Protein backbone atom coordinates (compact mmCIF):
# COMPACT_ATOMS: atom_id res chain seq x y z
CA UNK A 1 0.00 0.00 0.00
CA UNK A 2 1.21 3.44 -0.92
CA UNK A 3 1.84 5.74 2.03
CA UNK A 4 -0.13 8.98 1.58
CA UNK A 5 0.51 12.35 3.16
CA UNK A 6 -2.64 11.76 5.21
CA UNK A 7 -1.09 8.62 6.73
CA UNK A 8 2.06 10.53 7.56
CA UNK A 9 0.15 13.46 8.99
CA UNK A 10 -2.06 11.34 11.20
CA UNK A 11 0.90 9.30 12.47
CA UNK A 12 2.81 12.47 13.35
CA UNK A 13 -0.28 13.93 15.03
CA UNK A 14 -0.67 10.83 17.16
CA UNK A 15 3.02 10.99 18.15
CA UNK A 16 2.45 14.56 19.28
CA UNK A 17 -0.79 13.95 21.12
CA UNK A 18 0.54 10.85 22.88
CA UNK A 19 3.52 12.84 24.08
CA UNK A 20 6.02 10.71 22.14
CA UNK A 21 7.06 14.01 20.56
CA UNK A 22 6.66 16.41 23.53
CA UNK A 23 5.62 20.05 23.16
CA UNK A 24 8.65 22.11 22.19
CA UNK A 25 10.69 19.13 21.01
CA UNK A 26 12.60 19.10 17.74
CA UNK A 27 10.87 17.34 14.82
CA UNK A 28 13.08 14.93 12.82
CA UNK A 29 14.08 16.23 9.40
CA UNK A 30 12.00 15.43 6.35
CA UNK A 31 14.59 13.20 4.70
CA UNK A 32 14.75 10.96 7.78
CA UNK A 33 10.97 10.92 8.10
CA UNK A 34 10.58 9.96 4.44
CA UNK A 35 12.89 7.04 5.07
CA UNK A 36 11.01 6.02 8.21
CA UNK A 37 7.66 6.10 6.45
CA UNK A 38 8.98 4.65 3.19
CA UNK A 39 7.56 7.48 1.12
CA UNK A 40 8.69 10.39 -1.01
CA UNK A 41 10.04 13.47 0.70
CA UNK A 42 7.30 15.51 -1.03
CA UNK A 43 4.74 13.40 0.83
CA UNK A 44 6.32 14.21 4.19
CA UNK A 45 6.62 17.83 3.14
CA UNK A 46 2.92 18.11 2.40
CA UNK A 47 2.01 16.54 5.76
CA UNK A 48 4.37 18.93 7.55
CA UNK A 49 2.99 21.96 5.73
CA UNK A 50 -0.52 21.13 6.86
CA UNK A 51 0.66 20.58 10.42
CA UNK A 52 2.34 23.98 10.34
CA UNK A 53 -0.79 25.60 8.87
CA UNK A 54 -2.93 24.04 11.57
CA UNK A 55 -0.61 25.27 14.31
CA UNK A 56 0.69 21.92 15.57
CA UNK A 57 4.31 22.48 14.63
CA UNK A 58 6.29 25.58 13.86
CA UNK A 59 9.40 26.32 11.84
CA UNK A 60 11.80 28.77 13.41
CA UNK A 61 14.73 30.10 11.46
CA UNK A 62 17.50 29.06 13.82
CA UNK A 63 15.70 26.77 16.26
CA UNK A 64 14.51 24.34 13.60
CA UNK A 65 11.11 22.70 13.29
CA UNK A 66 9.48 22.04 16.64
CA UNK A 67 6.25 20.85 18.16
CA UNK A 68 4.43 24.03 19.08
CA UNK A 69 4.28 24.98 22.78
CA UNK A 70 1.13 27.05 22.77
CA UNK A 71 -0.82 26.50 19.60
CA UNK A 72 -2.50 29.64 18.30
CA UNK A 73 -5.92 28.33 17.59
CA UNK A 74 -7.19 29.62 14.32
CA UNK A 75 -10.88 29.41 13.84
CA UNK A 76 -12.14 29.42 10.28
CA UNK A 77 -15.66 30.57 9.69
CA UNK A 78 -17.45 30.24 6.39
CA UNK A 79 -18.97 33.54 5.38
CA UNK A 80 -21.25 32.63 2.50
CA UNK A 81 -23.61 34.95 0.69
CA UNK A 82 -26.65 35.48 2.89
CA UNK A 83 -28.81 33.82 0.23
CA UNK A 84 -26.67 30.65 0.42
CA UNK A 85 -26.58 30.83 4.23
CA UNK A 86 -30.37 30.92 4.41
CA UNK A 87 -30.95 28.33 1.69
CA UNK A 88 -28.50 25.94 3.37
CA UNK A 89 -30.73 26.03 6.44
CA UNK A 90 -33.53 24.82 4.17
CA UNK A 91 -35.38 28.12 4.40
CA UNK A 92 -36.78 30.29 1.61
CA UNK A 93 -34.73 33.37 0.92
CA UNK A 94 -36.29 36.73 0.21
CA UNK A 95 -34.52 40.01 -0.50
CA UNK A 96 -35.96 43.48 -0.18
CA UNK A 97 -34.49 46.89 -0.94
CA UNK A 98 -35.36 49.44 1.76
CA UNK A 99 -33.62 52.54 0.42
CA UNK A 100 -31.27 53.62 -2.32
CA UNK A 101 -29.46 56.98 -2.47
CA UNK A 102 -26.36 58.59 -3.95
CA UNK A 103 -24.71 60.76 -1.27
CA UNK A 104 -21.43 62.49 -0.55
CA UNK A 105 -19.35 60.05 1.53
CA UNK A 106 -19.86 60.87 5.21
CA UNK A 107 -16.71 61.67 7.15
CA UNK A 108 -16.73 58.51 9.29
CA UNK A 109 -16.88 56.43 6.09
CA UNK A 110 -14.10 58.42 4.44
CA UNK A 111 -11.93 57.80 7.48
CA UNK A 112 -12.76 54.12 7.62
CA UNK A 113 -12.16 53.37 3.95
CA UNK A 114 -9.45 56.01 3.36
CA UNK A 115 -11.54 57.83 0.75
CA UNK A 116 -10.63 61.14 -0.80
CA UNK A 117 -12.79 64.14 0.13
CA UNK A 118 -15.65 65.03 -2.20
CA UNK A 119 -16.33 61.50 -3.44
CA UNK A 120 -19.80 60.09 -3.78
CA UNK A 121 -21.08 56.81 -2.46
CA UNK A 122 -24.14 54.72 -3.12
CA UNK A 123 -25.94 54.06 0.16
CA UNK A 124 -28.23 51.05 0.19
CA UNK A 125 -30.32 49.59 2.98
CA UNK A 126 -31.61 46.07 2.40
CA UNK A 127 -33.38 43.34 4.30
CA UNK A 128 -32.87 39.60 3.99
CA UNK A 129 -35.62 37.25 5.12
CA UNK A 130 -35.63 33.52 5.89
CA UNK A 131 -39.03 31.89 5.46
CA UNK A 132 -40.51 35.36 5.71
CA UNK A 133 -38.85 36.18 9.03
CA UNK A 134 -36.32 39.02 9.31
CA UNK A 135 -32.82 37.52 9.19
CA UNK A 136 -30.33 40.25 8.39
CA UNK A 137 -30.41 44.04 8.05
CA UNK A 138 -27.79 45.27 5.58
CA UNK A 139 -26.44 48.81 5.67
CA UNK A 140 -24.21 49.08 2.59
CA UNK A 141 -22.01 51.81 1.15
CA UNK A 142 -20.39 51.49 -2.29
CA UNK A 143 -17.60 53.78 -3.46
CA UNK A 144 -18.72 55.21 -6.82
CA UNK A 145 -15.19 56.30 -7.71
CA UNK A 146 -14.16 52.63 -7.84
CA UNK A 147 -17.46 51.25 -9.12
CA UNK A 148 -19.15 53.96 -11.24
CA UNK A 149 -21.33 51.27 -12.85
CA UNK A 150 -23.17 50.81 -9.51
CA UNK A 151 -24.90 54.14 -10.26
CA UNK A 152 -26.88 52.46 -13.06
CA UNK A 153 -28.10 49.55 -10.95
CA UNK A 154 -31.45 49.69 -9.17
CA UNK A 155 -30.74 46.74 -6.79
CA UNK A 156 -34.47 46.03 -6.77
CA UNK A 157 -34.11 42.31 -7.45
CA UNK A 158 -30.47 41.42 -6.81
CA UNK A 159 -28.81 42.44 -3.56
CA UNK A 160 -25.56 44.40 -3.58
CA UNK A 161 -23.49 41.54 -2.16
CA UNK A 162 -24.34 39.31 -5.12
CA UNK A 163 -23.88 42.15 -7.55
CA UNK A 164 -20.47 43.05 -6.06
CA UNK A 165 -19.17 39.52 -6.49
CA UNK A 166 -19.70 39.72 -10.22
CA UNK A 167 -18.44 43.32 -10.43
CA UNK A 168 -15.26 42.78 -8.40
CA UNK A 169 -14.84 39.15 -7.55
CA UNK A 170 -11.90 39.31 -5.14
CA UNK A 171 -10.41 41.92 -2.94
CA UNK A 172 -8.68 42.73 0.33
CA UNK A 173 -11.07 42.34 3.19
CA UNK A 174 -11.30 43.42 6.80
CA UNK A 175 -13.97 41.74 8.87
CA UNK A 176 -14.92 42.74 12.37
CA UNK A 177 -17.36 40.92 14.62
CA UNK A 178 -19.01 42.56 17.60
CA UNK A 179 -22.09 42.68 19.78
CA UNK A 180 -24.50 45.60 19.63
CA UNK A 181 -27.99 46.53 20.73
CA UNK A 182 -31.09 46.98 18.59
CA UNK A 183 -32.10 50.64 18.40
CA UNK A 184 -35.61 51.76 17.45
CA UNK A 185 -35.00 51.37 13.72
CA UNK A 186 -33.25 47.99 13.91
CA UNK A 187 -35.90 46.62 16.25
CA UNK A 188 -38.60 47.50 13.72
CA UNK A 189 -36.81 45.88 10.79
CA UNK A 190 -35.61 42.83 12.73
CA UNK A 191 -38.90 42.37 14.56
CA UNK A 192 -37.36 42.43 18.02
CA UNK A 193 -37.39 44.69 21.07
CA UNK A 194 -35.18 47.75 21.36
CA UNK A 195 -32.21 46.84 23.53
CA UNK A 196 -32.09 43.25 22.26
CA UNK A 197 -28.57 41.97 21.55
CA UNK A 198 -27.54 42.09 17.89
CA UNK A 199 -24.65 40.14 16.41
CA UNK A 200 -22.90 42.47 14.01
CA UNK A 201 -20.56 41.74 11.12
CA UNK A 202 -18.74 44.64 9.49
CA UNK A 203 -16.79 44.18 6.31
CA UNK A 204 -14.63 46.69 4.45
CA UNK A 205 -13.11 45.74 1.13
CA UNK A 206 -10.48 47.24 -1.13
CA UNK A 207 -9.51 46.37 -4.64
CA UNK A 208 -5.84 47.01 -5.45
CA UNK A 209 -5.73 49.74 -2.84
CA UNK A 210 -9.02 51.40 -3.85
CA UNK A 211 -11.94 51.35 -1.45
CA UNK A 212 -14.82 49.27 -2.79
CA UNK A 213 -17.44 48.93 -0.10
CA UNK A 214 -18.25 48.99 3.59
CA UNK A 215 -21.15 47.00 4.97
CA UNK A 216 -22.66 46.56 8.41
CA UNK A 217 -24.78 43.43 8.79
CA UNK A 218 -27.05 43.24 11.83
CA UNK A 219 -28.64 39.90 12.67
CA UNK A 220 -31.85 39.11 14.49
CA UNK A 221 -31.37 38.19 18.18
CA UNK A 222 -30.19 34.63 18.72
CA UNK A 223 -27.94 34.61 15.66
CA UNK A 224 -24.76 32.56 16.03
CA UNK A 225 -21.68 32.03 13.92
CA UNK A 226 -20.44 28.51 14.56
CA UNK A 227 -17.54 26.42 13.33
CA UNK A 228 -16.19 22.93 14.10
CA UNK A 229 -12.79 21.50 13.33
CA UNK B 1 14.45 32.00 -13.40
CA UNK B 2 12.62 29.10 -11.86
CA UNK B 3 8.83 29.43 -11.92
CA UNK B 4 7.45 29.00 -8.39
CA UNK B 5 3.94 27.99 -7.35
CA UNK B 6 3.51 31.59 -6.15
CA UNK B 7 4.17 32.88 -9.68
CA UNK B 8 1.65 30.42 -11.09
CA UNK B 9 -0.92 31.22 -8.43
CA UNK B 10 -0.67 34.98 -8.88
CA UNK B 11 -0.85 34.69 -12.67
CA UNK B 12 -3.98 32.53 -12.44
CA UNK B 13 -5.51 34.91 -9.91
CA UNK B 14 -4.93 37.85 -12.22
CA UNK B 15 -6.51 35.91 -15.12
CA UNK B 16 -9.57 35.38 -12.93
CA UNK B 17 -9.83 38.90 -11.61
CA UNK B 18 -9.34 40.46 -15.06
CA UNK B 19 -12.13 38.30 -16.41
CA UNK B 20 -9.83 36.44 -18.80
CA UNK B 21 -11.07 33.32 -17.03
CA UNK B 22 -14.72 34.26 -16.32
CA UNK B 23 -16.62 33.09 -13.24
CA UNK B 24 -17.91 29.58 -13.84
CA UNK B 25 -15.50 28.85 -16.71
CA UNK B 26 -13.51 25.64 -16.97
CA UNK B 27 -9.89 25.83 -15.79
CA UNK B 28 -7.31 24.25 -18.15
CA UNK B 29 -5.89 20.96 -16.91
CA UNK B 30 -2.72 20.87 -14.86
CA UNK B 31 -0.59 19.17 -17.50
CA UNK B 32 -1.39 21.93 -20.02
CA UNK B 33 -0.83 24.65 -17.43
CA UNK B 34 2.54 23.15 -16.48
CA UNK B 35 3.54 23.30 -20.11
CA UNK B 36 2.29 26.89 -20.47
CA UNK B 37 4.22 28.04 -17.39
CA UNK B 38 7.26 25.88 -18.12
CA UNK B 39 7.22 24.30 -14.66
CA UNK B 40 6.60 20.95 -12.98
CA UNK B 41 3.06 19.69 -12.69
CA UNK B 42 3.51 19.57 -8.88
CA UNK B 43 4.11 23.33 -8.97
CA UNK B 44 0.81 23.92 -10.76
CA UNK B 45 -0.89 21.47 -8.43
CA UNK B 46 0.24 23.36 -5.34
CA UNK B 47 -0.97 26.67 -6.80
CA UNK B 48 -4.33 25.09 -7.65
CA UNK B 49 -4.73 23.55 -4.21
CA UNK B 50 -4.26 26.94 -2.57
CA UNK B 51 -6.73 28.53 -4.97
CA UNK B 52 -9.25 25.82 -4.09
CA UNK B 53 -8.61 26.30 -0.37
CA UNK B 54 -9.10 30.03 -0.71
CA UNK B 55 -12.36 29.56 -2.57
CA UNK B 56 -11.36 30.96 -5.96
CA UNK B 57 -11.78 27.75 -7.90
CA UNK B 58 -13.68 24.58 -7.19
CA UNK B 59 -13.32 20.97 -8.29
CA UNK B 60 -16.57 19.22 -9.09
CA UNK B 61 -16.59 15.49 -9.75
CA UNK B 62 -18.18 15.54 -13.16
CA UNK B 63 -18.12 19.22 -14.06
CA UNK B 64 -14.34 19.54 -13.79
CA UNK B 65 -12.34 22.35 -12.21
CA UNK B 66 -13.99 25.73 -12.58
CA UNK B 67 -13.65 29.32 -11.50
CA UNK B 68 -16.03 29.62 -8.63
CA UNK B 69 -19.28 31.51 -9.23
CA UNK B 70 -19.90 32.66 -5.71
CA UNK B 71 -16.77 32.34 -3.64
CA UNK B 72 -17.49 31.19 -0.12
CA UNK B 73 -15.49 33.65 1.83
CA UNK B 74 -13.72 31.98 4.68
CA UNK B 75 -12.67 34.26 7.44
CA UNK B 76 -9.86 33.04 9.66
CA UNK B 77 -9.66 34.47 13.12
CA UNK B 78 -6.74 33.91 15.44
CA UNK B 79 -7.95 32.74 18.81
CA UNK B 80 -4.88 33.05 20.99
CA UNK B 81 -4.70 32.49 24.73
CA UNK B 82 -6.22 35.49 26.45
CA UNK B 83 -2.84 36.22 28.03
CA UNK B 84 -1.23 36.45 24.59
CA UNK B 85 -4.17 38.47 23.25
CA UNK B 86 -3.80 41.04 26.01
CA UNK B 87 0.00 41.14 25.94
CA UNK B 88 -0.04 41.63 22.15
CA UNK B 89 -2.03 44.82 22.73
CA UNK B 90 0.86 45.98 24.90
CA UNK B 91 -1.20 45.73 28.10
CA UNK B 92 -0.37 44.01 31.38
CA UNK B 93 -2.18 40.75 31.88
CA UNK B 94 -3.63 39.74 35.23
CA UNK B 95 -5.52 36.57 36.06
CA UNK B 96 -7.83 36.03 38.99
CA UNK B 97 -9.75 32.96 40.15
CA UNK B 98 -13.29 33.83 41.27
CA UNK B 99 -14.60 30.41 42.26
CA UNK B 100 -13.64 26.75 42.14
CA UNK B 101 -16.00 23.82 42.80
CA UNK B 102 -16.43 20.14 41.99
CA UNK B 103 -20.08 19.51 41.06
CA UNK B 104 -22.26 16.93 39.37
CA UNK B 105 -22.50 17.92 35.69
CA UNK B 106 -25.69 19.97 35.20
CA UNK B 107 -28.12 18.58 32.63
CA UNK B 108 -27.60 21.35 30.06
CA UNK B 109 -23.85 20.66 30.14
CA UNK B 110 -24.36 16.90 29.84
CA UNK B 111 -26.53 17.49 26.79
CA UNK B 112 -24.09 19.91 25.23
CA UNK B 113 -20.97 17.78 25.70
CA UNK B 114 -22.68 14.37 25.44
CA UNK B 115 -21.63 13.41 28.97
CA UNK B 116 -22.78 10.28 30.79
CA UNK B 117 -25.12 10.78 33.73
CA UNK B 118 -23.56 10.93 37.18
CA UNK B 119 -20.24 12.39 36.09
CA UNK B 120 -18.52 15.18 37.98
CA UNK B 121 -17.15 18.37 36.54
CA UNK B 122 -14.84 21.06 37.81
CA UNK B 123 -16.55 24.42 37.58
CA UNK B 124 -14.25 27.43 37.51
CA UNK B 125 -15.04 31.09 37.21
CA UNK B 126 -12.10 33.35 36.34
CA UNK B 127 -11.43 36.93 35.40
CA UNK B 128 -8.83 38.22 32.99
CA UNK B 129 -7.70 41.85 33.23
CA UNK B 130 -5.82 44.12 30.82
CA UNK B 131 -3.91 46.92 32.54
CA UNK B 132 -6.15 46.35 35.53
CA UNK B 133 -9.41 46.74 33.59
CA UNK B 134 -11.86 43.86 33.24
CA UNK B 135 -11.32 42.19 29.86
CA UNK B 136 -12.90 38.75 29.90
CA UNK B 137 -15.13 36.75 32.23
CA UNK B 138 -14.50 33.01 31.92
CA UNK B 139 -17.10 30.44 32.93
CA UNK B 140 -15.34 27.08 32.58
CA UNK B 141 -16.39 23.47 33.04
CA UNK B 142 -13.88 20.61 32.90
CA UNK B 143 -14.95 16.96 32.60
CA UNK B 144 -13.24 15.10 35.45
CA UNK B 145 -13.82 11.72 33.82
CA UNK B 146 -11.48 12.75 31.00
CA UNK B 147 -9.13 14.89 33.09
CA UNK B 148 -9.09 13.49 36.66
CA UNK B 149 -5.81 15.32 37.29
CA UNK B 150 -7.70 18.65 37.16
CA UNK B 151 -9.05 17.77 40.64
CA UNK B 152 -5.58 18.29 42.14
CA UNK B 153 -5.04 21.73 40.59
CA UNK B 154 -5.96 24.88 42.50
CA UNK B 155 -5.88 27.20 39.43
CA UNK B 156 -4.88 30.03 41.75
CA UNK B 157 -1.97 31.21 39.61
CA UNK B 158 -2.41 29.61 36.19
CA UNK B 159 -5.73 29.85 34.38
CA UNK B 160 -7.50 26.74 33.11
CA UNK B 161 -6.97 27.56 29.42
CA UNK B 162 -3.19 27.55 29.84
CA UNK B 163 -3.35 24.45 32.01
CA UNK B 164 -5.54 22.61 29.49
CA UNK B 165 -3.10 23.22 26.66
CA UNK B 166 -0.41 21.34 28.52
CA UNK B 167 -2.82 18.63 29.73
CA UNK B 168 -4.46 17.94 26.34
CA UNK B 169 -2.73 19.84 23.60
CA UNK B 170 -5.08 19.20 20.68
CA UNK B 171 -8.66 18.26 20.31
CA UNK B 172 -11.87 18.60 18.33
CA UNK B 173 -13.34 22.01 18.84
CA UNK B 174 -16.68 23.68 18.32
CA UNK B 175 -16.67 27.46 18.55
CA UNK B 176 -19.77 29.59 18.55
CA UNK B 177 -19.87 33.38 18.50
CA UNK B 178 -22.89 35.37 19.56
CA UNK B 179 -24.12 38.60 21.09
CA UNK B 180 -25.58 38.68 24.59
CA UNK B 181 -26.48 41.16 27.29
CA UNK B 182 -24.73 41.78 30.61
CA UNK B 183 -26.84 40.55 33.50
CA UNK B 184 -26.34 41.79 37.06
CA UNK B 185 -23.43 39.46 37.76
CA UNK B 186 -21.61 40.06 34.46
CA UNK B 187 -22.04 43.81 34.77
CA UNK B 188 -20.35 43.72 38.18
CA UNK B 189 -17.40 41.66 36.99
CA UNK B 190 -17.00 43.46 33.66
CA UNK B 191 -17.52 46.90 35.15
CA UNK B 192 -20.37 47.82 32.82
CA UNK B 193 -24.10 48.49 33.01
CA UNK B 194 -26.66 45.70 33.03
CA UNK B 195 -28.11 45.40 29.54
CA UNK B 196 -24.83 46.36 27.87
CA UNK B 197 -23.99 44.24 24.80
CA UNK B 198 -21.52 41.42 25.47
CA UNK B 199 -19.57 39.61 22.75
CA UNK B 200 -19.61 35.95 23.69
CA UNK B 201 -17.35 33.10 22.59
CA UNK B 202 -18.34 29.56 23.51
CA UNK B 203 -15.97 26.68 22.97
CA UNK B 204 -16.59 22.98 23.49
CA UNK B 205 -13.75 20.52 23.06
CA UNK B 206 -13.47 16.78 22.79
CA UNK B 207 -10.47 14.52 22.83
CA UNK B 208 -10.85 11.33 20.81
CA UNK B 209 -14.59 11.41 21.37
CA UNK B 210 -14.41 12.23 25.09
CA UNK B 211 -15.71 15.55 26.33
CA UNK B 212 -12.92 17.71 27.72
CA UNK B 213 -14.27 21.15 28.49
CA UNK B 214 -16.91 23.76 27.79
CA UNK B 215 -16.18 27.43 28.27
CA UNK B 216 -18.20 30.59 27.88
CA UNK B 217 -16.11 33.75 27.50
CA UNK B 218 -17.88 37.07 27.95
CA UNK B 219 -16.07 40.23 26.91
CA UNK B 220 -16.41 43.78 28.13
CA UNK B 221 -18.59 46.00 25.93
CA UNK B 222 -16.82 47.26 22.82
CA UNK B 223 -14.88 44.05 22.27
CA UNK B 224 -14.25 43.14 18.63
CA UNK B 225 -12.81 40.16 16.84
CA UNK B 226 -11.14 41.41 13.67
CA UNK B 227 -9.30 39.82 10.80
CA UNK B 228 -7.77 41.06 7.54
CA UNK B 229 -6.78 39.07 4.47
Tens digits of per-residue pLDDT, B44-68? 999 998 888 777 788 877 778 888 7
If pLDDT is split at 50, 70 and 90, which confidence band does A76 have? confident
Q: Do B224 and A177 touch (CB under 8 A)?
A: yes
Burial class (CB in 10 A: 0-12, 13-18, 19+), B107: exposed
pLDDT at B71 over 60: no
Beta bridge pairs of residue A176: A202, B226
The domains spanning B5-67 and B82-219 adopt the same CATH topology: no
User: Closest Cα to residue B174, out of B141, B139, B213, B222?
Assistant: B213
Q: What is the number of residues in chain B? A: 229
Averaged pLDDT, A191-201 = 96
How high is the pLDDT of residue A115? 87
Q: How far apart are CA A83 and CA A74, in angstroms?
A: 26
Mean pLDDT of chain A, nearest integer: 87
Of A60-74, A190-204, B58-72, B107-121, highest mean pLDDT: A190-204
Confidence bin at A170 (pLDDT 50/70/90): low
For residue A172, is pLDDT > 70? yes
Work out the number of other CB atoms within 10 angstroms of the CB of residue A222: 11
Q: What's the rounded mean pLDDT across residues B188-211?
A: 93
High-pLDDT (> 70) share of chain A, % = 93
Whole-structure pTM over 0.80, yes or no?
Answer: no
Highest CATH level, class, for A5-67:
mainly alpha
Nearest to B13 by CA among A52, A126, A170, A227: A170
- Looking at the complex, report in whole angstroms how far the Cα of residue B54 sits from the nearest Cα belonging to chain A: 11
Q: Which residues contact B93 (CB under 8 A, 6 or more apart)?
A: B82, B83, B86, B87, B128, B129, B130
**Å from A71 to nearest chain B CA?**
8
* Surface of A (28-57) touching B: CB under 8 A: 42, 56
pLDDT at B178: 96
Domain boundaries, chain A: 5-67, 82-219
Q: Which pLDDT belongs to residue A190?
A: 97
The residue with greater pLDDT, B19 or A130, is A130
Q: Is B102 on the interface with A (CB under 8 A)?
A: no
Angle at B209 between CA B114 and CA B146, to 5 degrees: 80
Residue B70 has pLDDT above 60, yes or no: no
Torsion of CA B27, B32, B33, B39, to 10 degrees: 160
Kindly list the strands in the beta sheet with A197-207, ordered across the sheet, starting from the edge strand earlier in the chain.
A93-104, A120-130, A133-143, A210-219, A197-207, A172-181, B224-228
Q: What is the CATH number of domain B82-219?
A: 3.40.1410.10
Q: Give contacts of A 4-33 with B, CB under 8 A.
A: 13, 16-17, 23
Distances (CA, A) of B158 to A34, B87, B161, B171: 40, 16, 8, 20
Nearest to B218 by CA among B208, B229, B207, B194: B194
| Predicted pLDDT of residue B85 | 81
Amino acid sequence: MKVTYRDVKSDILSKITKGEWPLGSLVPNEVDLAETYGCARATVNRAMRELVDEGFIERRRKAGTRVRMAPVRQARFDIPLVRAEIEEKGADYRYSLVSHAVEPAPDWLRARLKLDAGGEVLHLVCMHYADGDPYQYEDRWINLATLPQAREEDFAEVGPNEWLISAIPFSDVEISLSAGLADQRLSEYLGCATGDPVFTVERSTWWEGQAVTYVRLSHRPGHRLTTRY
